[in-house]
Structure 1
Amino acid sequence: MSEFPVVVVGAGPVGLAAAAELVERGIEPVVLERGAEAGDAVGQWHHVRLFSRWSELVDPAAGRLLATTGWRPPSAEAYPTGAQWVSEYLRPLAAALGTRVRFGAEVVGAARRGRDRVVDAGRDSEPLTVHIRHRNGREELLTARAVIDASGTWGSPNPLGGDGLPALGERAAADRVSYRMPDLTDELTSARYTGRHVVVAGSGHSALTALVALAGLPQTRVSWLLRRGQVGDAFGGGEADQLPARGALGSRAREAVAAGRVEVVTGFRTEAVRRQDDGLLTLVSGHGHQVTDVAEVVALTGFRPELSWLSELRLELDATLQAPVGLAPLIDPNVHSCGTVYPHGARELSHPEPGVFLAGMKSYGRAPTFLAMTGYEQVRSIAAHLAGDREAAERVELVLPETGVCGGAGLFFDEPDSQAVGGCCAGGPEPLRLSAVPTAEN
């Protein structure tokens, strides 16, 4: 099928890296991006500073391609914002790839040519078809030798509801519930949160970033809702984290809590969102406990993959994480932190459908804490596999930085006996006070 291109879905960091890796292997890619420019999703969190350095954010093959254009890499030790990642790397990379990248092209389906998912015959010999809807409404059918889905999960945030579905009243309260880190550099956005009671729900790095930012607003009351029974390792590994900026973020969040600028409520799994007579919100847990007088909710509870357009392909996904079954045991948040995930590539990302790969954040399904360098290693291996270089596809070329956290991040409770955990099964959620922890600075 070498006469057909490899279709890459998504012109984000991993999708463009896949294209660069394929070009270096002499394989022609076509990158399809629904947005109007490279890094469209990254641009939506332009104000957030990454905790990875530039040296960890540039794919090696992409860097080599850019070097041929006269591109000068940013300072290797600097930490860019999302906006800088787009303007100084992703846009130049898309320009270097030229007409191989098509914008305003939404992929709405993929299948085996002339066969739905029920038909066995020809699945090894027929190419794939990719169904595209352009911004002007025009439809197109593209034939491909392989498909690399690097479309990410940004468009599918998890709801506030503790059971994975929107809480009762959550949709009706959409004017007060946000699923993105607010841009407090914007005056109107900052005014929306200043001097009000803001709830942050979630235990990942996005939630920590929001806590630190919101705690710095004057006269703003911040409540942090955790579904887990204890804070546990929610602050991360601190100085033990091999990504210093990631460790520092957790330390700053801990300091904000210890200083009383953030109130922590543990064991709270939201079941309902109710509108008060004054227009504010009351959040109700599954055990009937309440957080009242809430002006704004920032729900940063993770993301999930959008799989509907892949429904005619034979994917083999883990029942829990919705990640490829070969990868899921390596990234299960009940067991692993991201620093304990083993390097992986084409073998773990393969499916029963030949030539189909999920890469980047989408490959992690519902698992959290994905690093760009993981995605770069994935697509390096996939490109080698498609080029027939089995040795390179199997070779490990990545060592991930340890988080400094022992154990997983997805535990329902932090202690084996859930009945012993105050705040859920033993009396309802309670605010948690932390004492200041001595640091190297003090």
Structure 2
Amino acid sequence: MLQTSDLLRVSFRQVIRQHKRYLGVLLSIALGTAGFIVILTMGEEVKSNLNKDLDLLGGATIIKAFFEQGSTSESQMARPEWFHDVTVDAVDQIPGVNGTTLLTLAAGQTTQDDREVNIPMFGVDENFWTVMGIKATQGELFGAEAQEKRHRVVVLGELAAEKIFGRTDVVGERVMINSALYHIVGTLDPGNQIDRAKWAYVPLNTLRARMFNLLPRRLYIRCNTWDDVPLVAAALPQVIKQHQNANTLTVEVAWEPLKHIKRIVWWVEMFVYFSIVATLGLGGFGIWNGMMTAVKSRTREIGLKKAMGAEDWDIMIQFLSESTCLSLTAGILGVGLGYAGVLAAAHILHSSPPLDQFYVYGAASIAFALFIGIGAGFYPSLSAARMDVVAAIRYE
């Protein structure tokens, strides 16, 4: 019986000799393995980046919480509730929450060329842009400094700029809104939400300093992924109640768009996984077919080895070793391609590749490739081991 090292050396040499026959099998298993590694390794990262594109998702990962005006005369006379800072901090700590933003709405009016123009004003904090997925088309979006120091700056939606000035290139100019002069620092891209282009956005603290009765009664919460939305929505009322009165609290979730998105993603995932399984299955069938051909073409060799004293077990182990080496070679090639795919995906997503997960899935892929090799090569190896010596030697 050959030693293990000699057996592996002979098996790998046989795979190299027959590389043209096994090329399709190698590529099939390698590509299937690479796809398996990339999808599982980068799956969460891809999902996280998809959730950042709120226009694509229709705001499905945004939860809106607000306090409604009471319906009874008693509740209407009571002081309206608003979100306290300690409440917002607590909401930020809920597992699955990616970010929160406070905002309030006020009526705005300006005069341009002797005509009055009504512009809705939104007082927003520095987190509003990232939570809502808004980008600037010109200039910049104000940040924490403008919020903290109550700067009189404004970001105009493109339709609002067109309505006031008759054009959109207004960055750097000044506009008088509600008798206060604001510096225009940027215009924004409304995406698919056209209403955003009709508004003027100023720092929340700036707006509240001029309108003392203006309270932040709206809180928008963005979740990490669509899977976190139901959990966060369920936990939100209880967390808010722990820090303030929440009798008139309303929580809105876009359940229908969320279900639609999850349904689409589920089908896409099923299609991808089915494709990978089919590719690996074809690779396993290729190994089986290739080993059956190898057994048939080496029938006389098998007969001669048996005549020289080789046991059935020796013959079986040799062919099984060849199929395992073939699948192992394909698995190693697939891990290499998978590593390149992970690096490429991380570069496209502007993130760091999760190498810890890659190592885990890479090892699992090697183990699975070995399983395919052993499973696909077992019957051909058994057929070779059971050959009759005389019939095998006489085979032409």
More helix by share: 2
Greater length-normalized contact order (CA 8 Å, ≥ 6 residues apart) = 2
Q: TM-score under structure 1 normalisation?
A: 0.17
Q: TM-score under structure 2 normalisation?
A: 0.19
Q: Which structure has the bigger radius of gyration?
A: 2
